[in-house]
Structure 1
Amino acid sequence: MARDLEIRFSAFQVGEHCAAMSSGNPCFVNSGAIEMPQGKEEWMSTISKMKREPALVVFDCAPVMMDVSPIMPAHENVTLRAFPQLSKVLVSSVPLLVIAGLVYAGLFIKPKPVGAPIPPATFERGDAFYGLAALSASTIWAGGTDGKVVRTDDGGNTWTRQTTPTHHTIQDIAAWDEMRAVAVGNRGVAIFTLDGGTTWKEGKAPVSQVANKLMGVRVLPGGGAWAVGEYGALLKSEDYGASWVRAAPQEDAAWNDIDFLGDTGWIVGEFGRLKRTTDGGRTWTSVNTGVQTSLMGVRFKDAMHGVAVGVAGTVLVSGDGGLSWKPAPSPVREHLFDVEWHDGRWTAVGAKGVVLSASDPMQGWSVAPVSHIDQAWHTQVDAVDGGVVYLTGGTMVALENGKARPLVR
């Protein structure tokens, strides 16, 4: 007796020999995908193979009646069930599965970097270097924006960017030797190195609740250092910049620069203020300068003779160790930010590329820009034996034999 088995194929007309069998559409047997058998004989063979393992065979198609008695005895049963909506459910589930996969990837799969990291550029657009320390014609340190410190050991032909623990702007940098240096800047940052800049560490410095920018730093033999800044900051270190203490009470005025020769020191700041010490900084005495304009830089060539410069072209001269000061004739009105004594001459730098030079400030200064194309401001000047003068600020430049050589190319 023939037994009919209802099987669902593709949703199109099925002929006597079951043309749908050759459609090649996939079906699912025991959760495994197989290809649709080609023709009636192969289909019968497939059903025969399933007789020992009753299976759930799924088709989303129209029914067709087939005689399976030749291959299945009456006492054996194979159940074939049709689920017309299954494929629709599966298709509609795809977007949800995709979204679930993306959520899983976002939460639990962490990307891993491939290859070596790209080192940051030594010099970048917008860089400004406010502080510079020239140890020789070859070795120079500079510090500036974003906590960046760079060093050259070949006179500026090539530079190396050194990693620092801060992104606050460096305002000044000074060095004891080729291995040990200190830098200070915004937010009270004070960093130091003992290994030539291979590693920079943050020093422990007192913090004000009002203002903390440190403007200048000066180093002394034996690991001593002084730093000055906003809100009357006057800090002292005796361990190469690793720790700092306040040497004077806070006050509502900023100090901009400091200089020391032995136990005698001078600090200058806002409103023409100047203080002097003769006992290594234990006590400080205010000195009347006779001006109200802010003083930005001070330097002494010996224990008696010094020059201070400031905004609006201010130049002051002392011949008695800083006890009294006289205004010197100034040929410019541009702000002057720093002054240095070297090779028998004074050099002052400031805004608009101005460079002043004089052997005797009271007898007048010669004026020359860095170059006819360099109108940048310069915040610091340093010099080394041999007549090379280094300027830094909007540009970094070496002046030698009256010619300017850019240090950053």
Structure 2
Amino acid sequence: MKRPLILGALVVLAAGVLATPATATPTTGHGPTLTWRLSPTGSDARLRGLSAVSAKVAWASGSGGTVLRTTDGGRTWSRTSPPGTAALELRDIEAFDARTAVALSIGPGDQSRIFRTTDGGANWTETFRNGEANAFYDCLAFFDHRRGLALSDPVDGKFRLLSTDDGGRTWSVVPSDGVPPALDGEFAFAASGQCVTTSGSRDAWIATGGGAKARVLHSSDRGRTWTVSDTVLASNASAGVFATAFRDRSHGIAVGGDYAKPDGAVDALGTTRDGGRTWRKPSSAPKGYRSGVTWHPFLPSVAIAVGPTGSDITLNEGRDWRAFDSGSFDTVDCASDGACWAAGEKGRVATLRLVF
């Protein structure tokens, strides 16, 4: 099927989803619907890290040092974990192709580590091990195949960042001069690998919570200097912005809520049209906590959000949302060819499908 036909089907499908009652399973007799098609992984790990390379290739990572990879669209999965990581939580993974990926383990002190593979996970190299007792790395993101950032909770009152310009082979601490002071109790959530995100070659955003305000920090120079803005999301010790996604340097979505009350009707989503300087509430929002969000690469107004209580779609840049699935997922990612994947608890991985 040619791309224009695929896009047309998706538009009709998404419109139908927004116009009909939400269901946990596909409905029949009412035109196409969206659904997640589960892909058995053979794992019971909680998979909070996800990187969608294409319709064929995806990587996932999570508890117990787990790294999984598929090269056949999810029909089969291979466990390609770094050795000696069974006690680590690999909460984020960023893949460049079927052979090259960078994975991050979280935790205080030396539990925070970064690993890199160039042979599909057959061999891994540890490229960073945290030596700061007060640092706790949460997530990482890349601008391209060479330049990237890794984010830690605040150290000495400011968020700590690492940068790489060689694809994750080496990492260096970013000077904190250009980082605004953190609020009391403020930190980043290592829930979906999306607490630091990028768009284009220079822009990056940090999602925060835990303090008096849920905030988003923005850098337009690959992490050297940052500005900060309050969002419309709720914030407390278990609430805030858990993830952001930016379609370009201006249009973004922030999702979160309170993970301790996943069904709670708190302010859990905001949108921006100015790169994160200002945020507004949508007309309708997902019902409950959402930990992951992504834009569709072909449909500029379409985005998908996921969380433990379900998945939602927007057709109009985040102003209105409609639930289309009630299954539990922690993270979501769409590849450049339009394939969308989700991952979560008990080894759950799925691909987005049209059901007619």
TM-score w.r.t. structure 1 length? Answer: 0.62
Q: Quick check: 1:313–1:336 contact (8 Å CA) kept in 2? A: no
Partner of 1:255: 188
| Paired letter, 1:241 | G
Q: How many residues align?
A: 274
State the identity as a percent: 27
Q: 1:386: how far off?
A: 5.3
Structure 1 residues without counterparts, runs of 5 or longer: 1-121, 404-409
Question: Residues 379 and 255 (structure 1 numbering): CA distance in 2 closer, same or farther, change over 3 Å?
Answer: same
User: Does 1:327 pair with 2:281?
Assistant: yes
Bigger Cα displacement from structure 2, 186-195 vs 220-229: 220-229
Q: Distance in 1 between matches of 2:114 and 2:207?
A: 20
Question: Residues 222 and 151 (structure 1 numbering): CA distance in 2 closer, same or farther, change over 3 Å?
Answer: closer
Q: Quick check: 1:205–1:244 contact (8 Å CA) kept in 2? A: no
Q: Distance in 2 between matches of 1:192 and 1:229?
A: 19
Q: Distance in 1 between matches of 2:271 and 2:139?
A: 21
Return the match for 1:356 from 307, 312, 332.
Answer: 312
Q: Quick check: 1:331–1:367 contact (8 Å CA) kept in 2? A: no
Q: 1:226: how far off?
A: 1.3
SS of residue paired to 1:243: coil
Q: 1:247: how far off?
A: 2.2
Q: Distance in 1 between matches of 2:47 and 2:165?
A: 26
Structure showing greater Rg: 1
Q: 1:361: how far off?
A: 4.1
Indicate the structure with greater helix content: 1
Partner of 2:47: 129
Question: Residues 137 and 222 (structure 1 numbering): CA distance in 2 closer, same or farther, change over 3 Å?
Answer: closer
Q: 1:243: how far off?
A: 2.4
Partner of 1:219: 142
Return the match for 2:153 from 230, 233, 248.
Answer: 230
SS of residue paired to 1:204: strand
Partner of 2:133: 209
Give a deviation string over 1:194-223, Cα, whole Å, max 9, x none: 2222211111244331352x3322122241
Partner of 2:61: 143
Q: Distance in 2 between matches of 1:383 and 1:204?
A: 27
Partner of 1:303: 249
Q: Quick check: 1:205–1:243 contact (8 Å CA) kept in 2? A: no
Q: 1:149: how far off?
A: 0.8
User: Does 1:284 pair with 2:226?
Assistant: yes
| Paired letter, 1:347 | I
Q: Distance in 2 between matches of 1:132 and 1:222?
A: 17
Return the match for 1:177 from 97, 107, 115.
Answer: 97
Question: Residues 396 and 313 (structure 1 numbering): CA distance in 2 closer, same or farther, change over 3 Å?
Answer: farther
Q: Distance in 2 between matches of 1:362 and 1:396?
A: 24
Q: 1:193: how far off?
A: 0.9
User: Does 1:396 pair with 2:338?
Assistant: no
Q: 1:305: how far off?
A: 0.8
Q: Quick check: 1:147–1:169 contact (8 Å CA) kept in 2? A: yes
Partner of 2:27: none
Return the match for 1:274 from 205, 213, 216.
Answer: 216
Give a deviation string over 1:239-284, Cα, whole Å, max 9, x none: 2222222225495532241122221221111141211111221111
Q: Distance in 1 between matches of 2:316 and 2:67?
A: 35
User: Does 1:337 pair with 2:291?
Assistant: yes
SS of residue paired to 1:336: coil
Q: 1:290: how far off?
A: 4.2
Q: 1:357: how far off?
A: 0.5
Q: Quick check: 2:113–2:130 contact (8 Å CA) kept in 1? A: no
Q: Give the aligned CA root-mean-square deviation in angstroms.
A: 2.2
Q: Quick check: 2:228–2:277 contact (8 Å CA) kept in 1? A: no
Bigger Cα displacement from structure 2, 391-400 vs 281-290: 281-290
| Paired letter, 2:54 | S
Question: Residues 247 and 172 (structure 1 numbering): CA distance in 2 closer, same or farther, change over 3 Å?
Answer: same
TM-score w.r.t. structure 2 length? Answer: 0.71
Q: 1:147: how far off?
A: 0.7
